[in-house]
Amino acid sequence: MTNSISFEITSEETFTDETELNREFSNAATDGPVLEGFQVNFVVDVTFNGEEKSFEVIYQTEDRNNGMMAYNGYEMAVATIYGCDADESQELLTFVEDDYTVLDALNKRADELAKQELNSMI
């Protein structure tokens, strides 16, 4: 049986209260400005094999602590890796049996929003 997955983003909210531009970040591969403190909250309705469920997935700007990685300055990651209990990305993955289709689309959208925010601050 082939797994059937569909989804709709029903809410998208950005938070810039703590957002700032770090112009001093540099490493072996990057010396451009970096967006910090940006957050995007999504509510997404997912249908998987006929069952529908809603999830809140939260993205925050990635922590730039790896001196060997190149960054664009706006990469986003699911907030659960930073200890955000409200992020339901892991529950979503369990629901869809580890199919990353939804998270990949949400990550792409979060990166787009972060890039827009970074460009507006430069």
pLDDT in tens, 69-94: 556 678 899 999 889 999 999 999 99
Flag whether pLDDT at 3 surpasses 80. Answer: no
Question: Which has more pLDDT, 36 or 29?
Answer: 36
Q: Give me the chain's average pLDDT, please.
A: 87
Whole-number Å distance between alpha carbons of 109 and 119: 15
Looking at residue 91, its pLDDT comes to 98
> Left, alpha or beta for 47 (phi > 0: left; psi -120 to 50: alpha)?
beta
Flag whether pLDDT at 68 surpasses 50. Answer: no
Whole-number Å distance between alpha carbons of 122 and 119: 5
Residue 63: strand, helix, or coil: coil
Tell me if the pTM is above 0.75.
yes
